[in-house]
Amino acid sequence: MQKNEIFNTVNIVRLALVAAIYVAMSLVIQPFIYGPIQCRISEALVLLCFYRKDYCASMILGCFIVNLFSPSGLYDIIFGTLATAVAVIPMYFIKNIYVASLLPVVANGFIVGFELFLCGEPFWFSVGTVALGEAVAVCIVGILLFKLVFEKSSHLLKLIGNTKVEKKTALQ
């Protein structure tokens, strides 16, 4: 991806829309996206970073905005956004979507688990429950969404601006 491609209007709008969709999907189920037992179904969108690396900006920005509403305040703004950055930045460079889907599980489990520990929650319980919620959102919902919907449609892959996965031909 060339530098001028990243800053063109279509791409900036695409990235802004994805960040807005992440925020909307999160805030609509707001009571269930914070605390030791949480599941942000919007986290399924982090797999966009597997297909195109500039979606990292969308995910980090979307997470930051959602965390502005967190009852944990500054802790969630810092640690939650950091967890997303740690998870999504290397995701594009991983060749297997199943392996890539584990990055947010581990990053959010430990980093958000530590954040919740600082807020008075038991560390290992928080790590486990946050990781479990992330696994449901990314490893189950996200994988199903992208493998069964997006990768089956060259139109949808083009819509997300895929730069990684090649559509297999009928002869392969």
- Does the domain at 3-159 match CATH 1.10.3470? Answer given as no
Q: Is the pLDDT of residue 171 over 70?
A: no
pLDDT tens for 24-67 read 999 999 888 998 999 999 999 999 999 999 999 999 999 999 99
pLDDT tens for 56-112 read 999 999 999 999 999 999 999 999 999 999 999 999 999 999 999 999 999 999 999
Distance from C-alpha of 163 to C-alpha of 55, rounded to nearest angstrom: 11
What average pLDDT does the structure give for the chain? Answer: 90
pLDDT tens for 125-138 read 999 999 999 999 99
CA distances from residue 119 to 55, 64, 168 in whole angstroms, order as listed? 30, 18, 48
